[in-house]
């Protein structure tokens, strides 16, 4: 049996990766890897998230989703009714992020610039995934994880999409997905993709979900004030904007 890594990685995205129909209002794609030590995830991250849920809902079956929080939908409609409660919720949620011992590795692809620069560009998802895996490998190597098996957890999107993503992932780590002037050597690490349904209510996936859009907005609207982004940037291990 493989020796497991001390770290686990949770992944989420913001924006779509289509190059045939680019949304003029959101022409970027971001991919965020939230990397966390397993012992700290168990002892700090999960309890803090559970405490937040019990405080505001009285149970822990709620799934924190950035879009629903931002739009005050579903389980978050209470944010519309009481301004002081809304402000307290955001303060508490930001504190969970502040306290979370996570490292964020991210990539943001400007699809307009990408299509303008390259005649036959790679998929923004493939590019972002490649960038993030390169930097994840460097991070793990620096932290003594060489030769260990690291799981990278994605949220399920549908069988066909998940199958395509897994194939792309495995090709990249097998060294078949290199581009540009050099071939990156992934074989010194072992990576395994895992896919989890939203109903699993993964704390790690919810943290990743809270990071992807603010990072996209950093590229799309530089200089715009964003409290969530301010917190996220204190956790940043690496971010690659391309092209």
Give the pLDDT confidence score for residue 181 in this predicted structure.
47
Over the stretch 132-178, which tens digit does the pLDDT of each residue have?
Answer: 999 999 999 999 999 999 999 999 999 999 999 999 999 999 987 55
Give the pLDDT confidence score for residue 180 in this predicted structure.
57
Kindly report the pTM of this predicted structure.
0.96
Per the listing, tokens 């098996």 go with 149
> How far apart, in Å, do the first and last CA atoms of the chain sit?
40
CA-closest candidate to residue 46, choices 240, 202, 226, 225: 202
- The dihedral built from the CA positions of residue 108, 109, 112 and 114, taken in this order, carries a sign that is positive
What pLDDT tens digit does each residue of the chain (243 aa) get? 789 999 999 999 999 999 999 999 999 999 999 999 999 999 999 999 999 999 999 999 999 999 999 999 999 999 999 999 999 999 999 999 999 999 999 999 999 999 999 999 999 999 999 999 999 999 999 999 999 999 999 999 999 999 999 999 999 999 875 555 466 778 788 999 999 999 999 999 999 999 999 999 999 999 888 889 999 999 999 999 999
Structural domains of the chain ordered from first start: 7-43+102-242 (3.30.420)
Over the stretch 199-218, which tens digit does the pLDDT of each residue have?
Answer: 999 999 999 999 999 999 99
**Residues 6+ positions from 215 with CB-CB distance below 8 Å:** 14, 30, 32, 104, 106, 108, 229, 232, 239
């Amino acid at each position: 049996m493989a020796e497991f890594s001390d770290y686990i990685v949770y992944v989420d995205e913001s924006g779509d990766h289509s190059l045939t129909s680019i949304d003029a209002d959101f022409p970027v794609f971001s991919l965020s890897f939230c990397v966390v030590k397993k012992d700290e995830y168990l002892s700090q991250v999960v309890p803090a998230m559970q405490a937040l849920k019990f405080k505001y809902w009285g149970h822990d079956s709620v799934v924190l989703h950035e879009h629903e929080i931002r739009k005050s939908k579903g389980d978050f409609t209470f944010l519309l009714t009481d301004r002081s409660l809304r402000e307290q919720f955001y303060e508490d949620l930001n504190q969970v992020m502040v306290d979370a011992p996570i490292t964020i590795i991210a990539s943001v692809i400007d699809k307009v610039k990408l299509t303008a620069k390259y005649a036959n560009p790679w998929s923004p998802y493939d590019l972002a995934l490649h960038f993030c895996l390169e930097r994840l490998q460097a991070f793990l190597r620096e932290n003594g994880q060489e030769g260990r098996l690291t799981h990278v957890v994605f949220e399920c999107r549908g069988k066909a999409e998940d199958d395509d993503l897994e194939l792309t992932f495995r090709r990249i780590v097998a060294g078949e997905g290199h581009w540009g002037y050099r071939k990156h050597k992934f074989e010194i690490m072992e990576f395994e993709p895992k896919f989890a349904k939203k109903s699993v209510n993964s704390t790690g996936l919810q943290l990743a979900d809270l990071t992807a859009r603010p990072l996209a907005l950093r590229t799309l609207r530089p200089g715009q004030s964003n409290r969530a982004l301010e917190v996220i940037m204190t956790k940043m291990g690496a971010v690659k904007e391309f092209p």
